[in-house]
Structure 1
Protein backbone atom coordinates (compact mmCIF):
# COMPACT_ATOMS: atom_id res chain seq x y z
CA UNK A 1 0.00 0.00 0.00
CA UNK A 2 1.36 3.43 -0.92
CA UNK A 3 1.34 6.30 1.57
CA UNK A 4 3.06 8.66 -0.85
CA UNK A 5 0.31 11.29 -1.05
CA UNK A 6 -0.27 11.66 2.69
CA UNK A 7 3.47 11.50 3.47
CA UNK A 8 4.24 14.24 0.94
CA UNK A 9 1.62 16.54 2.43
CA UNK A 10 2.68 15.81 6.05
CA UNK A 11 6.44 16.19 5.52
CA UNK A 12 6.06 19.31 3.39
CA UNK A 13 4.05 21.01 6.14
CA UNK A 14 6.52 19.86 8.83
CA UNK A 15 9.32 21.44 6.81
CA UNK A 16 7.33 24.67 6.48
CA UNK A 17 7.42 24.53 2.66
CA UNK A 18 4.47 25.81 0.64
CA UNK A 19 3.19 24.02 -2.46
CA UNK A 20 4.42 26.92 -4.57
CA UNK A 21 7.93 26.74 -3.06
CA UNK A 22 8.11 23.00 -3.64
CA UNK A 23 6.87 23.42 -7.21
CA UNK A 24 9.60 25.97 -7.82
CA UNK A 25 12.29 23.58 -6.52
CA UNK A 26 10.99 20.83 -8.79
CA UNK A 27 10.42 23.15 -11.77
CA UNK A 28 6.74 22.11 -12.08
CA UNK A 29 3.37 23.84 -11.73
CA UNK A 30 1.91 24.24 -8.22
CA UNK A 31 -1.16 22.29 -9.37
CA UNK A 32 1.13 19.28 -9.92
CA UNK A 33 2.17 19.31 -6.24
CA UNK A 34 -1.51 19.47 -5.30
CA UNK A 35 -2.17 16.47 -7.55
CA UNK A 36 0.66 14.49 -5.90
CA UNK A 37 -0.71 15.20 -2.43
CA UNK A 38 -4.29 14.35 -3.41
CA UNK A 39 -3.23 11.08 -5.02
CA UNK A 40 -4.46 12.16 -8.46
CA UNK A 41 -1.00 11.86 -9.96
CA UNK A 42 2.27 10.15 -9.08
CA UNK A 43 5.72 11.66 -9.67
CA UNK A 44 8.25 9.98 -11.94
CA UNK A 45 11.33 8.34 -10.39
CA UNK A 46 13.66 11.34 -10.84
CA UNK A 47 11.06 13.65 -9.30
CA UNK A 48 10.54 11.19 -6.44
CA UNK A 49 14.26 11.18 -5.72
CA UNK A 50 14.34 14.97 -5.64
CA UNK A 51 11.27 15.05 -3.37
CA UNK A 52 12.96 12.61 -0.99
CA UNK A 53 16.05 14.83 -0.93
CA UNK A 54 14.03 17.98 -0.23
CA UNK A 55 12.05 16.29 2.55
CA UNK A 56 15.09 14.46 4.00
CA UNK A 57 13.46 11.03 3.79
CA UNK A 58 14.25 7.67 2.19
CA UNK A 59 12.25 6.54 -0.84
CA UNK A 60 11.04 3.37 0.88
CA UNK A 61 9.81 5.34 3.89
CA UNK A 62 8.24 8.04 1.71
CA UNK A 63 6.22 5.55 -0.35
CA UNK A 64 5.43 2.58 1.91
CA UNK A 65 5.59 3.79 5.54
CA UNK A 66 2.61 5.47 7.25
CA UNK A 67 4.53 8.34 8.85
CA UNK A 68 1.46 10.06 10.28
CA UNK A 69 0.44 7.01 12.34
CA UNK A 70 3.79 5.31 12.99
CA UNK A 71 6.22 8.25 13.10
CA UNK A 72 9.49 8.53 11.22
CA UNK A 73 10.86 5.07 10.50
CA UNK A 74 14.38 6.38 10.00
CA UNK A 75 14.42 8.91 12.85
CA UNK A 76 16.90 6.81 14.85
CA UNK A 77 19.44 7.26 12.05
CA UNK A 78 19.38 11.04 11.90
CA UNK A 79 22.01 13.20 13.51
CA UNK A 80 20.82 15.66 16.13
CA UNK A 81 21.41 19.41 16.03
CA UNK A 82 24.89 20.90 15.80
CA UNK A 83 25.95 21.51 19.39
CA UNK A 84 26.58 25.05 20.63
CA UNK A 85 29.44 25.03 23.16
CA UNK A 86 31.29 27.51 25.38
CA UNK A 87 35.07 27.49 25.62
CA UNK A 88 37.58 29.17 27.92
CA UNK A 89 41.25 29.18 26.90
CA UNK A 90 40.57 26.34 24.45
CA UNK A 91 38.97 24.23 27.19
CA UNK A 92 35.29 23.42 26.77
CA UNK A 93 33.16 24.54 29.72
CA UNK A 94 30.14 22.76 31.15
CA UNK A 95 27.03 24.94 30.85
CA UNK A 96 24.52 24.75 33.70
CA UNK A 97 20.83 24.78 32.78
CA UNK A 98 19.02 25.53 36.03
CA UNK A 99 15.35 24.92 36.76
CA UNK A 100 14.40 28.51 35.85
CA UNK A 101 16.47 28.42 32.66
CA UNK A 102 15.10 25.11 31.38
CA UNK A 103 11.96 26.66 29.84
CA UNK A 104 14.03 29.14 27.83
CA UNK A 105 16.49 26.44 26.82
CA UNK A 106 14.08 25.12 24.17
CA UNK A 107 14.35 28.42 22.31
CA UNK A 108 17.97 29.21 23.16
CA UNK A 109 19.83 25.89 22.91
CA UNK A 110 21.21 26.85 19.48
CA UNK A 111 21.82 30.54 20.29
CA UNK A 112 25.43 31.37 21.29
CA UNK A 113 24.31 34.56 23.08
CA UNK A 114 21.84 32.62 25.23
CA UNK A 115 24.51 30.04 26.05
CA UNK A 116 26.94 32.76 27.17
CA UNK A 117 24.37 33.85 29.76
CA UNK A 118 24.34 30.44 31.47
CA UNK A 119 26.65 29.62 34.37
CA UNK A 120 29.79 27.73 33.36
CA UNK A 121 32.18 25.43 35.19
CA UNK A 122 34.65 22.60 34.63
CA UNK A 123 35.23 19.18 36.19
CA UNK A 124 38.77 18.01 35.39
CA UNK A 125 38.08 14.33 36.12
CA UNK A 126 35.60 13.97 33.24
CA UNK A 127 36.89 12.58 29.94
CA UNK A 128 38.06 15.25 27.51
CA UNK A 129 36.71 13.28 24.54
CA UNK A 130 33.11 14.37 25.05
CA UNK A 131 30.96 17.51 25.37
CA UNK A 132 29.06 17.93 28.64
CA UNK A 133 26.08 19.90 29.91
CA UNK A 134 24.53 20.09 33.37
CA UNK A 135 20.80 20.18 34.14
CA UNK A 136 19.13 20.85 37.49
CA UNK A 137 16.33 18.43 38.40
CA UNK A 138 12.97 19.99 39.19
CA UNK A 139 10.94 17.04 40.49
CA UNK A 140 11.19 13.75 42.38
CA UNK A 141 10.47 11.38 39.48
CA UNK A 142 14.03 10.03 39.54
CA UNK A 143 14.51 9.27 43.23
CA UNK A 144 16.87 8.81 45.02
CA UNK A 145 18.06 11.92 43.12
CA UNK A 146 16.11 14.73 44.78
CA UNK A 147 14.92 18.07 43.33
CA UNK A 148 17.85 20.45 42.97
CA UNK A 149 20.31 17.70 42.05
CA UNK A 150 22.50 18.66 39.11
CA UNK A 151 22.91 15.88 36.54
CA UNK A 152 25.85 16.11 34.14
CA UNK A 153 25.39 14.47 30.75
CA UNK A 154 27.67 13.80 27.78
CA UNK A 155 26.34 14.69 24.34
CA UNK A 156 24.86 11.94 22.16
CA UNK A 157 24.79 13.05 18.53
CA UNK A 158 22.68 10.23 17.06
CA UNK A 159 19.47 8.74 18.41
CA UNK A 160 20.39 5.15 17.59
CA UNK A 161 23.23 5.43 20.16
CA UNK A 162 20.69 5.50 23.00
CA UNK A 163 21.04 2.30 25.06
CA UNK A 164 17.90 0.87 26.63
CA UNK A 165 17.87 1.02 30.42
CA UNK A 166 20.37 3.90 30.72
CA UNK A 167 19.42 7.34 32.04
CA UNK A 168 19.45 10.39 29.77
CA UNK A 169 18.51 14.05 29.73
CA UNK A 170 16.28 14.60 26.70
CA UNK A 171 15.44 17.99 25.24
CA UNK A 172 12.15 17.53 23.38
CA UNK A 173 9.70 19.75 21.56
CA UNK A 174 6.71 18.22 23.37
CA UNK A 175 7.94 17.50 26.92
CA UNK A 176 10.68 20.10 27.35
CA UNK A 177 13.80 19.08 29.30
CA UNK A 178 13.35 15.71 31.06
CA UNK A 179 15.63 13.27 32.87
CA UNK A 180 14.45 9.68 32.52
CA UNK A 181 15.47 6.08 32.09
CA UNK A 182 15.07 5.51 28.35
CA UNK A 183 14.20 2.41 26.34
CA UNK A 184 14.94 2.59 22.63
CA UNK A 185 12.15 1.32 20.34
CA UNK A 186 12.98 3.63 17.43
CA UNK A 187 13.59 0.76 15.02
CA UNK A 188 10.20 -0.77 15.84
CA UNK A 189 7.90 2.25 15.96
CA UNK A 190 10.03 5.41 15.83
CA UNK A 191 9.54 6.11 19.55
CA UNK A 192 11.43 6.23 22.85
CA UNK A 193 9.86 4.86 26.04
CA UNK A 194 10.58 7.07 29.08
CA UNK A 195 10.47 5.56 32.57
CA UNK A 196 10.81 7.21 35.99
CA UNK A 197 12.72 5.49 38.80
CA UNK A 198 9.96 6.70 41.11
CA UNK A 199 7.16 4.17 40.58
CA UNK A 200 4.49 6.80 41.30
CA UNK A 201 5.13 8.32 37.86
CA UNK A 202 3.73 6.54 34.80
CA UNK A 203 5.98 5.78 31.80
CA UNK A 204 5.24 7.53 28.52
CA UNK A 205 6.46 7.66 24.92
CA UNK A 206 8.04 10.40 22.79
CA UNK A 207 8.55 10.30 19.05
CA UNK A 208 12.12 10.24 17.85
CA UNK A 209 11.60 13.27 15.63
CA UNK A 210 10.47 15.31 18.67
CA UNK A 211 13.93 14.99 20.25
CA UNK A 212 16.25 17.99 19.88
CA UNK A 213 19.16 16.93 22.13
CA UNK A 214 20.23 13.84 24.07
CA UNK A 215 22.69 13.78 26.99
CA UNK A 216 23.77 10.51 28.61
CA UNK A 217 23.97 10.89 32.40
CA UNK A 218 27.58 10.60 33.60
CA UNK A 219 27.67 12.27 37.03
CA UNK A 220 25.58 14.25 39.49
CA UNK A 221 26.12 16.95 42.11
CA UNK A 222 23.90 17.03 45.18
CA UNK A 223 23.87 18.64 48.62
CA UNK A 224 21.61 15.81 49.82
CA UNK A 225 23.88 13.22 51.43
CA UNK A 226 22.69 9.58 51.35
CA UNK A 227 21.35 8.21 54.61
CA UNK A 228 22.53 4.65 55.44
CA UNK A 229 19.05 3.90 56.77
CA UNK A 230 17.30 5.14 53.66
CA UNK A 231 15.41 2.33 51.93
CA UNK A 232 15.77 3.97 48.54
CA UNK A 233 18.35 2.17 46.40
CA UNK A 234 19.45 2.17 42.75
CA UNK A 235 17.72 -0.18 40.36
CA UNK A 236 19.30 -3.63 40.25
CA UNK A 237 19.72 -5.75 37.11
CA UNK A 238 16.77 -7.82 38.31
CA UNK A 239 14.66 -4.66 38.68
CA UNK A 240 15.64 -3.59 35.16
CA UNK A 241 14.74 -7.01 33.77
CA UNK A 242 11.27 -6.85 35.32
CA UNK A 243 10.86 -3.26 34.07
CA UNK A 244 11.73 -4.28 30.51
CA UNK A 245 9.22 -7.16 30.65
CA UNK A 246 6.50 -4.78 31.87
CA UNK A 247 7.33 -2.31 29.10
CA UNK A 248 7.20 -5.02 26.43
CA UNK A 249 3.81 -6.14 27.74
CA UNK A 250 2.57 -2.52 27.64
CA UNK A 251 3.78 -2.11 24.06
CA UNK A 252 1.97 -5.30 23.01
CA UNK A 253 -1.24 -3.95 24.53
CA UNK A 254 -0.75 -0.61 22.76
CA UNK A 255 -0.16 -2.32 19.40
CA UNK A 256 -3.17 -4.55 19.99
Structure 2
Protein backbone atom coordinates (compact mmCIF):
# COMPACT_ATOMS: atom_id res chain seq x y z
CA UNK A 1 0.00 0.00 0.00
CA UNK A 2 1.19 3.51 -0.78
CA UNK A 3 2.37 5.08 2.48
CA UNK A 4 0.91 8.41 1.33
CA UNK A 5 -2.53 6.88 1.74
CA UNK A 6 -1.95 5.85 5.37
CA UNK A 7 -3.20 8.50 7.80
CA UNK A 8 -2.55 6.82 11.16
CA UNK A 9 -0.02 9.36 12.44
CA UNK A 10 -1.91 12.46 11.35
CA UNK A 11 -5.19 10.96 12.56
CA UNK A 12 -4.07 10.27 16.11
CA UNK A 13 -2.61 13.78 16.31
CA UNK A 14 -5.87 15.22 14.97
CA UNK A 15 -7.97 13.24 17.47
CA UNK A 16 -5.69 14.19 20.34
CA UNK A 17 -5.93 17.89 19.52
CA UNK A 18 -9.69 17.56 18.97
CA UNK A 19 -9.95 16.43 22.58
CA UNK A 20 -7.65 19.29 23.62
CA UNK A 21 -5.06 16.89 25.04
CA UNK A 22 -1.32 17.38 24.97
CA UNK A 23 1.09 14.57 24.19
CA UNK A 24 1.98 14.03 27.84
CA UNK A 25 -1.60 13.49 28.97
CA UNK A 26 -2.52 11.15 26.08
CA UNK A 27 0.68 9.16 26.47
CA UNK A 28 -0.13 8.69 30.16
CA UNK A 29 -3.68 7.54 29.34
CA UNK A 30 -2.34 4.96 26.87
CA UNK A 31 0.65 3.85 28.98
CA UNK A 32 3.08 5.12 26.33
CA UNK A 33 6.11 7.32 26.57
CA UNK A 34 5.76 10.81 25.16
CA UNK A 35 8.65 10.13 22.77
CA UNK A 36 6.90 7.07 21.32
CA UNK A 37 3.63 8.98 20.89
CA UNK A 38 5.51 11.78 19.17
CA UNK A 39 7.18 9.27 16.84
CA UNK A 40 3.83 7.66 15.99
CA UNK A 41 2.18 11.00 15.28
CA UNK A 42 4.98 12.10 12.98
CA UNK A 43 5.35 8.80 11.15
CA UNK A 44 8.82 8.12 12.51
CA UNK A 45 7.81 4.62 13.60
CA UNK A 46 7.89 2.66 10.36
CA UNK A 47 6.23 -0.47 11.69
CA UNK A 48 3.82 0.23 14.56
CA UNK A 49 2.84 -2.88 16.48
CA UNK A 50 -0.73 -4.26 16.36
CA UNK A 51 -1.08 -3.30 20.03
CA UNK A 52 -0.43 0.32 19.07
CA UNK A 53 -3.30 0.33 16.56
CA UNK A 54 -5.70 -1.35 18.98
CA UNK A 55 -4.69 0.95 21.84
CA UNK A 56 -5.67 4.07 19.89
CA UNK A 57 -8.75 2.42 18.36
CA UNK A 58 -10.12 1.48 21.78
CA UNK A 59 -9.37 4.90 23.28
CA UNK A 60 -10.90 7.02 20.50
CA UNK A 61 -13.69 4.49 19.69
CA UNK A 62 -12.77 4.48 16.00
CA UNK A 63 -11.92 1.38 13.98
CA UNK A 64 -8.35 0.56 13.04
CA UNK A 65 -9.34 0.62 9.38
CA UNK A 66 -10.55 4.23 9.61
CA UNK A 67 -7.51 5.29 11.62
CA UNK A 68 -5.32 3.92 8.86
CA UNK A 69 -7.19 4.75 5.67
CA UNK A 70 -9.49 7.75 6.23
CA UNK A 71 -8.22 11.32 6.52
CA UNK A 72 -10.30 12.22 9.56
CA UNK A 73 -9.36 15.91 9.40
CA UNK A 74 -11.44 16.21 6.22
CA UNK A 75 -14.62 14.87 7.79
CA UNK A 76 -17.40 17.04 9.14
CA UNK A 77 -18.09 17.13 12.87
CA UNK A 78 -21.31 15.19 12.22
CA UNK A 79 -19.40 12.46 10.39
CA UNK A 80 -16.84 12.28 13.17
CA UNK A 81 -19.58 11.83 15.76
CA UNK A 82 -21.18 9.11 13.63
CA UNK A 83 -17.80 7.43 13.37
CA UNK A 84 -17.30 7.51 17.13
CA UNK A 85 -20.80 6.08 17.55
CA UNK A 86 -19.81 3.03 15.49
CA UNK A 87 -21.10 4.08 12.07
CA UNK A 88 -17.86 3.42 10.23
CA UNK A 89 -17.23 5.56 7.14
CA UNK A 90 -14.68 3.21 5.60
CA UNK A 91 -16.79 0.25 4.62
CA UNK A 92 -14.75 -2.89 5.06
CA UNK A 93 -17.01 -4.48 7.60
CA UNK A 94 -17.98 -2.75 10.82
CA UNK A 95 -14.30 -2.42 11.67
CA UNK A 96 -11.02 -4.32 11.65
CA UNK A 97 -11.12 -6.39 14.80
CA UNK A 98 -10.20 -9.78 16.09
CA UNK A 99 -13.36 -11.78 15.44
CA UNK A 100 -14.48 -13.54 18.59
CA UNK A 101 -14.35 -17.31 18.13
CA UNK A 102 -14.41 -20.54 20.13
CA UNK A 103 -12.04 -23.49 19.70
CA UNK A 104 -12.23 -27.20 20.47
CA UNK A 105 -9.82 -29.35 22.48
CA UNK A 106 -7.46 -29.55 19.48
CA UNK A 107 -7.39 -25.72 19.32
CA UNK A 108 -9.34 -25.74 16.05
CA UNK A 109 -12.09 -23.22 15.44
CA UNK A 110 -15.62 -24.40 16.07
CA UNK A 111 -18.58 -23.65 13.88
CA UNK A 112 -21.03 -21.83 16.15
CA UNK A 113 -24.74 -22.23 15.50
CA UNK A 114 -26.98 -19.20 16.05
CA UNK A 115 -30.51 -20.58 16.60
CA UNK A 116 -33.60 -18.45 15.98
CA UNK A 117 -34.12 -17.80 19.70
CA UNK A 118 -30.55 -16.46 20.01
CA UNK A 119 -30.79 -13.92 17.18
CA UNK A 120 -31.67 -10.93 19.39
CA UNK A 121 -28.82 -11.64 21.79
CA UNK A 122 -26.35 -12.12 18.96
CA UNK A 123 -26.58 -8.44 17.97
CA UNK A 124 -25.12 -7.40 21.32
CA UNK A 125 -22.97 -10.47 22.00
CA UNK A 126 -21.42 -11.21 18.60
CA UNK A 127 -18.01 -9.91 19.76
CA UNK A 128 -18.19 -11.44 23.25
CA UNK A 129 -16.36 -14.80 23.56
CA UNK A 130 -18.37 -15.62 26.69
CA UNK A 131 -21.65 -15.20 24.80
CA UNK A 132 -20.38 -17.26 21.87
CA UNK A 133 -19.25 -20.04 24.20
CA UNK A 134 -22.89 -20.56 25.18
CA UNK A 135 -24.01 -21.17 21.59
CA UNK A 136 -24.20 -24.71 20.17
CA UNK A 137 -20.92 -25.45 18.41
CA UNK A 138 -19.43 -28.27 16.43
CA UNK A 139 -16.78 -29.14 13.84
CA UNK A 140 -17.37 -29.79 10.17
CA UNK A 141 -14.99 -31.56 7.78
CA UNK A 142 -13.70 -30.02 4.56
CA UNK A 143 -13.95 -26.39 5.64
CA UNK A 144 -10.92 -24.21 4.78
CA UNK A 145 -8.62 -23.71 7.74
CA UNK A 146 -8.08 -20.07 6.82
CA UNK A 147 -11.71 -18.99 7.34
CA UNK A 148 -14.09 -18.52 10.26
CA UNK A 149 -17.51 -20.13 9.84
CA UNK A 150 -20.91 -19.97 11.53
CA UNK A 151 -24.29 -21.51 10.88
CA UNK A 152 -27.49 -19.48 10.70
CA UNK A 153 -31.10 -20.69 10.30
CA UNK A 154 -33.30 -19.20 7.58
CA UNK A 155 -37.03 -18.53 7.52
CA UNK A 156 -39.40 -17.82 4.67
CA UNK A 157 -39.33 -18.70 0.99
CA UNK A 158 -37.46 -15.71 -0.43
CA UNK A 159 -34.44 -17.85 -1.34
CA UNK A 160 -36.16 -20.74 -3.09
CA UNK A 161 -35.04 -23.16 -4.50
CA UNK A 162 -32.99 -23.35 -1.28
CA UNK A 163 -35.66 -24.84 1.01
CA UNK A 164 -37.29 -22.94 3.83
CA UNK A 165 -35.83 -23.47 7.32
CA UNK A 166 -32.44 -24.44 5.94
CA UNK A 167 -29.30 -23.95 8.02
CA UNK A 168 -26.74 -21.87 6.14
CA UNK A 169 -23.02 -22.45 6.71
CA UNK A 170 -21.23 -19.20 5.94
CA UNK A 171 -17.76 -17.65 6.13
CA UNK A 172 -17.04 -14.34 7.85
CA UNK A 173 -16.35 -11.45 5.44
CA UNK A 174 -13.90 -8.86 6.76
CA UNK A 175 -13.74 -6.69 3.64
CA UNK A 176 -17.22 -6.13 2.23
CA UNK A 177 -15.81 -4.47 -0.89
CA UNK A 178 -14.24 -7.79 -1.87
CA UNK A 179 -17.67 -9.28 -2.51
CA UNK A 180 -18.60 -9.88 -6.14
CA UNK A 181 -22.06 -8.70 -7.26
CA UNK A 182 -24.94 -10.96 -6.20
CA UNK A 183 -22.87 -12.94 -3.69
CA UNK A 184 -25.06 -15.11 -1.48
CA UNK A 185 -24.63 -13.94 2.12
CA UNK A 186 -26.12 -13.91 5.58
CA UNK A 187 -26.41 -10.22 6.54
CA UNK A 188 -26.67 -9.29 10.23
CA UNK A 189 -28.62 -6.04 10.55
CA UNK A 190 -28.90 -3.66 13.49
CA UNK A 191 -32.00 -2.93 15.52
CA UNK A 192 -35.15 -4.97 15.20
CA UNK A 193 -34.42 -6.12 11.65
CA UNK A 194 -33.99 -9.84 11.10
CA UNK A 195 -30.93 -11.69 9.89
CA UNK A 196 -31.39 -11.98 6.14
CA UNK A 197 -30.12 -14.46 3.58
CA UNK A 198 -29.77 -12.56 0.32
CA UNK A 199 -27.70 -11.90 -2.75
CA UNK A 200 -25.50 -8.92 -1.86
CA UNK A 201 -24.20 -6.26 -4.25
CA UNK A 202 -22.07 -3.49 -2.73
CA UNK A 203 -22.63 -0.09 -4.32
CA UNK A 204 -20.02 2.60 -4.90
CA UNK A 205 -21.93 4.88 -2.53
CA UNK A 206 -21.51 2.43 0.35
CA UNK A 207 -25.02 1.01 0.20
CA UNK A 208 -25.83 -2.68 -0.19
CA UNK A 209 -28.50 -4.01 -2.51
CA UNK A 210 -30.12 -7.17 -1.16
CA UNK A 211 -32.02 -9.38 -3.58
CA UNK A 212 -33.74 -12.74 -3.34
CA UNK A 213 -33.38 -15.83 -5.49
CA UNK A 214 -37.16 -15.99 -5.52
CA UNK A 215 -38.25 -13.45 -8.15
CA UNK A 216 -41.49 -12.83 -6.24
CA UNK A 217 -39.51 -10.65 -3.82
CA UNK A 218 -38.26 -7.19 -4.84
CA UNK A 219 -34.63 -6.15 -4.15
CA UNK A 220 -34.06 -3.44 -1.56
CA UNK A 221 -31.23 -1.20 -0.34
CA UNK A 222 -29.67 -0.98 3.13
CA UNK A 223 -27.04 1.46 4.39
CA UNK A 224 -23.67 0.15 5.48
CA UNK A 225 -24.12 1.64 8.94
CA UNK A 226 -27.16 -0.60 9.43
CA UNK A 227 -25.06 -3.74 8.93
CA UNK A 228 -23.18 -5.45 11.76
CA UNK A 229 -21.64 -8.43 9.95
CA UNK A 230 -21.70 -10.20 6.60
CA UNK A 231 -21.13 -13.95 6.22
CA UNK A 232 -20.60 -15.41 2.74
CA UNK A 233 -22.61 -18.51 1.86
CA UNK A 234 -20.71 -21.78 1.57
CA UNK A 235 -23.32 -24.55 1.87
CA UNK A 236 -26.63 -25.41 3.49
CA UNK A 237 -28.20 -28.23 5.48
CA UNK A 238 -31.86 -29.10 5.09
CA UNK A 239 -34.30 -31.93 5.71
CA UNK A 240 -36.17 -30.93 2.54
CA UNK A 241 -35.16 -31.43 -1.06
CA UNK A 242 -34.76 -28.27 -3.16
CA UNK A 243 -37.67 -27.60 -5.46
CA UNK A 244 -36.86 -28.60 -9.02
CA UNK A 245 -38.77 -25.64 -10.37
CA UNK A 246 -40.32 -22.54 -8.88
CA UNK A 247 -43.24 -20.66 -10.37
CA UNK A 248 -41.02 -18.57 -12.59
CA UNK A 249 -39.36 -21.64 -14.09
CA UNK A 250 -42.72 -23.23 -14.75
CA UNK A 251 -43.98 -20.07 -16.47
CA UNK A 252 -40.87 -20.01 -18.64
CA UNK A 253 -41.49 -23.62 -19.70
CA UNK A 254 -45.09 -22.75 -20.63
CA UNK A 255 -43.94 -19.78 -22.71
CA UNK A 256 -41.32 -21.88 -24.48
CA UNK A 257 -43.92 -24.55 -25.24
CA UNK A 258 -46.27 -21.92 -26.68
CA UNK A 259 -43.42 -20.55 -28.79
CA UNK A 260 -42.70 -24.03 -30.12
CA UNK A 261 -46.36 -24.47 -31.07
CA UNK A 262 -46.40 -21.09 -32.85
CA UNK A 263 -43.26 -22.02 -34.76
CA UNK A 264 -44.84 -25.31 -35.87
CA UNK A 265 -48.00 -23.51 -37.05
CA UNK A 266 -45.96 -20.97 -39.00
CA UNK A 267 -43.84 -23.73 -40.55
CA UNK A 268 -46.89 -25.80 -41.59
CA UNK A 269 -48.58 -22.72 -43.06
CA UNK A 270 -45.76 -22.02 -45.52
TM-score normalized with structure 1 length: 0.62
The equivalent of 1:116 in structure 2 is: 133
CA contact (8 A) 2:163 2:241 kept: no
- Which of 44, 54, 62 aligns to 2:75? It is 62
* Structure 1: tracts of 5 or more residues without a match: 1-20, 29-52, 236-256
Deviation at 1:103, TM superposition (A): 2.0
The equivalent of 2:218 in structure 1 is: 202
Deviates more, 1:217-226 or 1:53-62: 53-62
- The answer as to 2:202 corresponding to 1:184 is yes
- The answer as to 2:20 corresponding to 1:26 is yes
Q: Which has the higher strand share?
A: 1
Structure 1 residues 196 and 145, CA gap change in structure 2 (3 angstroms): same
The equivalent of 2:99 in structure 1 is: 83
Equivalents in 1 of 2:98, 2:90: separation in Å? 19
Deviation at 1:88, TM superposition (A): 0.5
- The answer as to 2:148 corresponding to 1:131 is yes
CA contact (8 A) 1:80 1:159 kept: no
Deviations, residues 62-99 of structure 1 (Å, cap 9, x unaligned): 15x9899xx97632487454311110021111001112
Structure 1 residues 169 and 80, CA gap change in structure 2 (3 angstroms): farther
Structure 1 residues 79 and 140, CA gap change in structure 2 (3 angstroms): same
CA contact (8 A) 1:79 1:158 kept: no
CA contact (8 A) 1:170 1:214 kept: yes
Equivalents in 2 of 1:112, 1:198: separation in Å? 36
CA contact (8 A) 2:188 2:227 kept: yes
Equivalents in 1 of 2:75, 2:111: separation in Å? 40
How many residue pairs are counted as aligned between the two chains? 185
The equivalent of 1:105 in structure 2 is: 122
Task: Tell me the SS of whatever aligns to 1:100.
Answer: helix
- Which of 218, 224, 232 aligns to 2:246? It is 232
Deviation at 1:147, TM superposition (A): 2.5
Greater relative contact order (Cα < 8 A, sep 6+): 1
Give me the CA root mean square deviation. Answer: 3.4
Deviation at 1:209, TM superposition (A): 2.5
The equivalent of 1:149 in structure 2 is: 166
Deviation at 1:199, TM superposition (A): 2.0
Equivalents in 2 of 1:76, 1:61: separation in Å? 19
CA contact (8 A) 1:169 1:180 kept: yes
CA contact (8 A) 1:192 1:206 kept: yes
* Structure 2: tracts of 5 or more residues without a match: 1-14, 23-58, 82-86, 250-270
Structure 1 residues 201 and 167, CA gap change in structure 2 (3 angstroms): same
